[in-house]
Structure 1
Amino acid sequence: MTAETTETAETTGTALPPQDATSRLSLADVLSHPMGKSVHDLSFGPDLLGPGYGAHTLVLGDDPDGETPGRPVVTTLVRHLPTGVADDAWRTRPALLFVHGMTDFFFQTHVAEHFHALGYAVYGLDLRKCGRSHRPGQTWHHVSSQSIYDEDLTVALSLLAAGHPSVIPVGHSTGGLDVTMWVARLHRAATDGDAARARLYAAVRAVVLNSPWLDLQFDAVTNAVIRHIFPTVARFAPDWHVPGGIDPSYGRTLHVEEYGEWDYDRTYKPLYPRPKKVSWLVGVSREIDKLHTGGFATGVPTLLLCSDRHSGGGRPGADGAAAPDPDAFLTDTVLKPDQMRAAAHLVDPHCDVRTVPGAMHDVFLSGPEVRAAAFRAADAWLAALP
Structure 2
Amino acid sequence: MEWSSDILGADFQSCTLETQEPGGSLRRATLVRYRPAGPATPLAGNGRNHERHDAGQGAVLFLHGWSDYFFNVELAQFWARQGYDFYALDMHNHGRNLEADSIGGYVADLADYDTEINSALRIIRAVGSGGSRESVALMGHSTGGLVAALWAQRHRGVVQYLILDSPWLEMHGSSIGRRAAQAMVAPLARLRPEMVLRLPERGFYYRSISVTAEGEWQLDERYRPPFAFPVRVGWLKAVLAGHGQVARGLGLDIPVLVFISGASANGMVWQESMRRSDAVLDVDVIGARAMTLGRSVTLERIDGGLHDVFLSAPDVRADAYARLARWIKGYMSDDLPQAVESGDE
Output the TM-score relative to the length of structure 1.
0.77
- Report SS of the residue matched to 1:129: coil
Q: Which has the higher contact order (CA 8 A, sep 6+)?
A: 2
Q: Report the alpha carbon displacement of residue 237 of structure 1 after superposing the two structures with TM.
A: 1.7
Q: Does 1:274 align with 2:195?
A: no
- Report SS of the residue matched to 1:385: helix
Q: Report the alpha carbon displacement of residue 153 of structure 1 after superposing the two structures with TM.
A: 1.1
Q: Which amino acid aligns with 2:65?
A: G
Give the Cα–Cα distance (whole angstroms) in 1 for the partners of residues 313 and 184 of structure 2.
40
Q: Does 1:176 align with 2:145?
A: yes
Give the Cα–Cα distance (whole angstroms) in 1 for the partners of residues 56 and 264 of structure 2.
40
Sort the Cα spacing of 1:359 and 1:287 in 2 relative to 1 into closer, same or farther, 3 A: same
Q: Report the alpha carbon displacement of residue 246 of structure 1 after superposing the two structures with TM.
A: 6.1
Give the Cα–Cα distance (whole angstroms) in 2 for the partners of residues 353 and 220 of structure 1.
21
Q: 4+ runs of 1 displaced by more than 6 Å?
A: none
Which residue of 1 is the match for residue 311 of structure 2?
365
Q: Does 1:293 align with 2:248?
A: yes
Deviates more, 1:171-180 or 1:244-253: 244-253
Identity within the alignment, %:
30
Which residue of 2 is the match for residue 190 of structure 1?
none
The match for 1:138 among 68, 89, 102 is 102
1:205-216 → structure 2 map (5 Å cutoff): 205-216=160-171
Which residue of 2 is the match for residue 348 of structure 1?
294
Deviates more, 1:133-142 or 1:301-310: 133-142
Give the Cα–Cα distance (whole angstroms) in 1 for the partners of residues 29 and 175 of structure 2.
36
Q: Is the 8 A contact 1:96 1:167 kept in 2?
A: yes
Q: Which amino acid aligns with 2:195?
A: W
Q: Is the 8 A contact 1:90 1:121 kept in 2?
A: no
Cα deviation digits, residues 265-314 of structure 1 (max 9, x gap): 112111112212100000100111122122x233111100111111116x
Greater helix share, 1 or 2? 1
Give the Cα–Cα distance (whole angstroms) in 2 for the partners of residues 218 and 301 of structure 1.
27
Q: Does 1:264 align with 2:238?
A: no
The match for 1:186 among 140, 155, 164 is 155
Q: Is the 8 A contact 2:56 2:84 kept in 1?
A: no
Q: Is the 8 A contact 1:147 1:182 kept in 2?
A: yes
1:1-386 → structure 2 map (5 Å cutoff): 23=1, 43-62=2-21, 64=22, 71-83=25-37, 92-164=56-128, 165-187=134-156, 201-202=157-158, 204-217=159-172, 223-244=178-199, 247-294=202-249, 296-312=250-266, 315-316=268-269, 324-385=270-331
Give the Cα–Cα distance (whole angstroms) in 1 for the partners of residues 109 and 32 of structure 2.
24
Q: Which amino acid aligns with 2:217?
A: W
Q: Which amino acid aligns with 1:75?
A: A
Which residue of 1 is the match for residue 42 of structure 2?
none
Give the Cα–Cα distance (whole angstroms) in 1 for the partners of residues 176 and 149 of structure 2.
27
Q: Is the 8 A contact 2:264 2:281 kept in 1?
A: yes
Give the Cα–Cα distance (whole angstroms) in 1 for the partners of residues 200 and 90 of structure 2.
21
Alignment root-mean-square deviation, CA: 2.1
Q: Is the 8 A contact 1:59 1:75 kept in 2?
A: yes
Q: Is the 8 A contact 2:252 2:295 kept in 1?
A: no
Sort the Cα spacing of 1:90 and 1:236 in 2 relative to 1 into closer, same or farther, 3 A: farther
Aligned length: 314
Give the Cα–Cα distance (whole angstroms) in 2 for the partners of residues 208 and 253 of structure 1.
23
Q: Is the 8 A contact 1:306 1:361 kept in 2?
A: yes
Provide structure 1 residue ranges, at least 5 long, that are not aligned to the other structure.
1-22, 24-42, 188-200, 317-323
Sort the Cα spacing of 1:297 and 1:135 in 2 relative to 1 into closer, same or farther, 3 A: farther
Give the Cα–Cα distance (whole angstroms) in 2 for the partners of residues 381 and 107 of structure 1.
24
Output the TM-score relative to the length of structure 2.
0.86
Q: Which amino acid aligns with 2:102?
A: Q
Q: Which amino acid aligns with 1:74?
A: R
Give the Cα–Cα distance (whole angstroms) in 1 for the partners of residues 85 and 201 of structure 2.
32
Give the Cα–Cα distance (whole angstroms) in 2 for the partners of residues 274 and 341 of structure 1.
26
